[in-house]
Amino acid sequence: MTELAESLLRGLGTGSVYALLALGFVIIYKATRVISFAQPAFMLAGAVLVTYLAGPVGFWVAVPVAAVLTAGLALGVERVAVRPMVGRPAFVVAIITLGVDVAVRVVVNGFIGLDVRHVGDPWGLRTVAVPGTAIDLQQRHLAALLATAVLIAGLFAFFRYTRMGLAMRAAAYDQEAALAQGVSVGAVFALSWGLAGGLAAVAGTFAAAGASVDAALWLIALTALPVIILGGLDSLPGAVVGGLAVGTIQELTASYQQHAPWLGGNVSVISPYVLMLLVLLVRPYGLFGTREVERV
């Protein structure tokens, strides 16, 4: 039972990182109807920025500064590479984001170099005991879970109570109607990319906590793809639920895969995709996605 509980808690911590990444994907998709494949590059860029800033200013200052700088990078990409393509087919813009992802990662890899780089987090691999139990939880997973909860609450308040949040919700529902009501759709596009970039930077930092930052860190972001399909491509709650579900399933599979050696030793790697396929068989639009209605 203790092993099961520890696996669940690890899964929630890992799933928090996936949820932050998935939220970025969904925010951009809701605003622009384009899937941005540049999120892995923003995640890597944010983590590398933290490794450079953590020494001079400390971890707690480095994370928000890196998030803001990565948001600025995402804004620049949107303005230079994506905005001129408004009105073009969505798959063309998606391919452009693939190119942006590769280009940004190549540049960022040059800043990683050959040295081992750490984000300077205060948790490392230390654990904390759950009171009254024999369950140990890694502090980095607890921190990721708490940070994700705070950011989700902030996003909810932003979309619910601010004029810009309302404008983004209106543009997501109907861009032409929002434009007719005076909403600056261009500002909505830019802000969605900025938010996604900032979230990716925080996700990259927690993904690298207790470990090191290397050129392969971006691969973690690929797991966010089954997350957004699982939760629903246009659903923010779906991104959160999908992220936590995928993280939990992945950790449970990693913990118990030795009981099915005939499946091989890396079943946990493919478990998110298996879960996604199973859900899509019964809910093609994901758990919380909007079903498209076509008139014939």
Q: Beta-carbon neighbour count of residue 225 at 10 Å?
A: 20
Least confident of 11-20, 45-54, 118-127: 118-127
Average pLDDT over residues 185-200: 91
Whether residue 296 has pLDDT greater than 60: no
Buried b (16+ CB within 10 A) or exposed e, 13-29: bbbbbbbbbbbbbbbbb
pLDDT of res. 164: 87
Residues 229-276 pLDDT 10s = 888 888 888 899 989 999 999 888 888 887 777 777 778 888 888 888
Q: Which residue has the tokens 């300077």?
A: 120
**Are 74 and 15 spatial neighbours (Cβ–Cβ below 8 Å)?**
no
Whether residue 1 has pLDDT greater than 80: no
- DSSP notation for 90-123: HHHHHHHHHHHHHHHHHHHHHHH-SS-B----S-
Average pLDDT over residues 144-155: 93
Nearest to 183 by CA among 192, 6, 198: 192
How many percent of the chain have pLDDT more than 70? 98
Average pLDDT over residues 108-121: 84
The chain-wide mean pLDDT, for the chain, equals: 86
Among 162-176, 195-209, 213-227, top mean pLDDT goes to 195-209
Q: Rounded to an integer, what distance in angstroms lies between the CA atom of residue 202 and that of residue 84?
A: 28
Least confident of 110-124, 196-210, 239-253: 110-124
pLDDT of res. 72: 94
Average pLDDT over residues 274-285: 85
Average pLDDT over residues 283-287: 82
Could you tell me the pLDDT band of residue 292, with boundaries at 50, 70 and 90?
low
pLDDT of res. 129: 82
**Are 10 and 142 spatial neighbours (Cβ–Cβ below 8 Å)?**
no
Q: Rounded to an integer, what distance in angstroms lies between the CA atom of residue 53 and that of residue 246?
A: 31
φ/ψ of residue 292, rounded to 5: -80, 135
Average pLDDT over residues 214-226: 84
Mode of pairing for the β-strands spanning 136-138 and 127-129: antiparallel
Residues 56-105 pLDDT 10s = 899 999 999 999 999 999 999 989 888 887 777 888 888 999 999 999 99
Could you tell me the pLDDT band of residue 49, with boundaries at 50, 70 and 90?
very high
- DSSP notation for 195-255: HHHHHHHHHHHHHHTTS-B-GGGGHHHHTHHHHHHHH-TT-HHHHHHHHHHHHHHHHHHHH
Could you tell me the pLDDT band of residue 32, with boundaries at 50, 70 and 90?
confident
pLDDT of res. 295: 57
**Are 39 and 21 spatial neighbours (Cβ–Cβ below 8 Å)?**
yes
Q: Which residue has the higher pLDDT, 264 or 55?
A: 55
